[in-house]
Structure 1
Amino acid sequence: MKRIGYVICCIAFLNWLNSCGSDDAVVTPITIEELSIRAEVDENPVSGSAVATVASKLPGTLTYTLSSISVDNAVEINSATGVLSVSSSLAFDYERRTAITGIVVASNGSESEAWDLQIGIRNIDDIEYWLSDSKAVYQAENSGNWVLITEQEYEELTTQLNSISKSGTTDLLYSQGSNSELFETYAGFTVSNDLSSIPENSYVFAFKYLAQADSLAENQVKVSDGIVTEGYANLGNTLPIHNQGQRYFVLKGARQSTTTSRGFLGIYSQNGVSYDSQGNAAGTHLFGAGDINEFSSTNVLDRVCIYQGLSTPVQQWD
């Protein structure tokens, strides 16, 4: 009985195997095609610039959508062409991330594809990139040194770098003070304007002022952290030697945020830092003898010293 049962089982198995091999059950090998988009961009790209194009081969009229993205609002996609472009340049900050990833879906209404998106971010020094006449000097300098640059370069940095704020004084007051016919100059004093504070968690990376003396080599930019009367620290090394006139500087390698809360911009004046004695530029500044880090609240003058700094919350340099 055991043998008969065995034979019956074998016959049943062969019949089943034969039925599986019939024409209506063809086994098709599974083909896995990787759908991916790989691109690289320099950090802090111009908003609206193209990054990549999704090239789906699905038939018919296609619609492209951005299904997911690792950084909100980093890129946007043209639903008809599949062109990916920069939406927020601030998302492409190499110091915060080295890549942005996501999923793009292409669909013709009945079929769809999911494309893996990866955008690598290349680290660049944006300050170096936008300098022209002073580029070689900037490249050769060590971190912590200020570099004398041209007015055109200073304005280019103001325009091209992201999230710029101006501290020390406003453009209007700076212009009004510079157009005065009479100036008073500080020699051996530290001063700080009591307006146009530095935004929190920002880097001061550039500085300009109206110098009223020649062969200046010891003037020192300073920043406070929180209040205008105290907590000042040197920002970088002393300004490089320069003569009188409108002078512009950029700091090589600002590594740490200069303020954790609202801060103020000051300067130690070996000589040459001035204010409009006619009072064309309304405002106040504090002053104190020597290279100091705090002021008496009683040492206040109703004039604006003619200097200004540039800051940004985004580190855009090496």
Structure 2
Amino acid sequence: MKQSTKLLVLLVALVIAACSTEDDSNQPPSNTNTNIETSVNENPSSGDLVTTITSNLSGDVSFSISSQSVSQAFTLDSNSGELRVAAWQVFDFETNPVITATIAISNGTESENKIVIVTLNDMDDIWSFLNTSRQSYENASNGQWIAITQSEYHDLANYLFEVSKCGTTDAQYNRNDPISYDTPYYTYANDNGATVDAQQYVFAFKYICDEDNLTNTKVKLSSTSVSEGYTNLGGDVPMHNSGENYFVLKGNNTPTTDMSYMAVGAERFGYFNGTSGFSFKYGAYDVNELPSNWPGIALYQGLTTTLKQWD
């Protein structure tokens, strides 16, 4: 009797174990959250591959973005799992050093989530936005001005962090007035409110001239007044020709300490003559004091930022 009872108990245990195993195999696995960590250089191109999502789920799976920390940062191929750059402008180290996305994966019956953590590598932002002029920038030493293109200047103005404009505002610079030119070398500083704030880095400028093969053009800053106290910012501007010219300064490591004025010295410098309500100070040749005053707007503009975004 005792032997029969033992056999019965063993049989029941085997049946329970078999049923338990069968039930477990029919249950879908619980959702899992697995982090995928990667890094990319800031300022990438739209369409650049960030990473490829993989899954442990069986069969055909589909991928979708359920959330992302920065809107429109990523696109995701629902079949391949390729996560790519969408809005490249948000891949900016100064504003979004880390961007994340939650990826939902499903095979129709089972599902899992993965979190992608993308760390941005801090790059020389000026270098990033130069194409035609990149080699010249790479070859230059700190403190040198480099000639750049119009589109490069505009990209720097539009995409670097917290950029301001000095020398002239866009409205002052882009007036539809006749342009005058003085033949001798003069240093000009606009007295029009477009100053350089304290703790700003000047990193680029543009101006208009009417002479080819110009040399000795200089950029100056003064925190004393619009009329005096100017010192050179960087070395001489490289040789350039008539028209609108654009330049970038490599490696400016010194921000302004006080509110400052920007001046430019050159031959055949363009200006709006007799413009009502505006005036500029000027002095003959490469000088640091500008004793004379003239009604008008000297045609130059500088770019500044509160944050050093270059090597």
Normalising by the smaller structure, the TM-score range is: 0.5 to 0.7
Deviations 1:233-261 (A, max 9, x none): 7574133354663433111023466589x
Per-residue deviation at 1:305? Answer: 0.6
Preserved CA contact (<8 Å) 1:191 1:266: yes
Q: Following the alignment from structure 1 to structure 2, what is the Cα–Cα distance between the partners of residues 283 and 96? A: 38
Deviations 1:37-71 (A, max 9, x none): 454433123467664454554667857243463xx
Q: Aligned runs of 1:57-76 on 2, under 5 Å?
A: 57=57, 62=62, 64-67=64-67, 69=69, 72-73=70-71, 75-76=73-74
CA gap of 1:101–1:244, structure 2 versus 1, over 3 A, is: closer
Structure 2 counterpart SS, 1:302:
strand
Partner letter of residue 249 of structure 1?
A: F
Preserved CA contact (<8 Å) 2:184 2:268: yes
* Residue 287 (str. 1) matches residue 281 (str. 2): yes
Per-residue deviation at 1:105? Answer: 2.9
Preserved CA contact (<8 Å) 1:173 1:282: no
Preserved CA contact (<8 Å) 2:198 2:260: no
Structure 1 counterpart SS, 2:159:
coil
CA gap of 1:182–1:300, structure 2 versus 1, over 3 A, is: closer
Equivalence for 1:221: 220
Task: In structure 1, list runs of 5 or more residues that go unmatched.
Answer: 1-14
Q: Aligned runs of 1:122-137 on 2, under 5 Å?
A: 122-131=121-130, 134-137=133-136
CA gap of 1:162–1:243, structure 2 versus 1, over 3 A, is: closer
Q: Aligned runs of 1:19-30 on 2, under 5 Å?
A: 19=13, 22-26=17-21
Per-residue deviation at 1:304? Answer: 0.1
Equivalence for 2:192: 194
Per-residue deviation at 1:230? Answer: 9.1
Equivalenced residues, count: 288
Partner letter of residue 134 of structure 2?
A: K
CA gap of 1:251–1:154, structure 2 versus 1, over 3 A, is: farther
Preserved CA contact (<8 Å) 2:185 2:268: yes
Preserved CA contact (<8 Å) 1:43 1:123: yes
Partner letter of residue 284 of structure 1?
A: F
TM-score for the superposition, normalised by structure 1:
0.63
Which is worse superposed, 227-236 or 92-101? 227-236
Equivalence for 2:242: 245
Equivalence for 1:43: 42
CA gap of 1:39–1:265, structure 2 versus 1, over 3 A, is: farther
Structure 2 counterpart SS, 1:136:
helix
Q: Following the alignment from structure 2 to structure 1, what is the Cα–Cα distance between the partners of residues 261 and 111? A: 56
Structure 2 counterpart SS, 1:115:
strand
Partner letter of residue 310 of structure 1?
A: L
Q: Aligned runs of 1:100-179 on 2, under 5 Å?
A: 100-107=99-106, 111-131=110-130, 134-147=133-146, 149-150=147-148, 153-159=149-155, 162=159, 166-170=165-169, 173-174=172-173, 179=178
Preserved CA contact (<8 Å) 1:185 1:274: no
Partner letter of residue 305 of structure 1?
A: A
Preserved CA contact (<8 Å) 2:195 2:262: no
Query: Aligned-residue CA RMSD in angstroms?
Result: 5.0
TM-score for the superposition, normalised by structure 2:
0.64
Q: Following the alignment from structure 1 to structure 2, what is the Cα–Cα distance between the partners of residues 106 and 314? A: 40
CA gap of 1:168–1:94, structure 2 versus 1, over 3 A, is: same
Q: Following the alignment from structure 1 to structure 2, what is the Cα–Cα distance between the partners of residues 66 and 314? A: 34
Identity %: 24
Task: In structure 2, list runs of 5 or more residues that go unmatched.
Answer: 1-8
Partner letter of residue 154 of structure 1?
A: Q
Partner letter of residue 64 of structure 1?
A: S
Equivalence for 2:301: 308
Q: Following the alignment from structure 2 to structure 1, what is the Cα–Cα distance between the partners of residues 197 and 58? A: 50
CA gap of 1:251–1:24, structure 2 versus 1, over 3 A, is: same
CA gap of 1:133–1:190, structure 2 versus 1, over 3 A, is: same
CA gap of 1:106–1:126, structure 2 versus 1, over 3 A, is: same
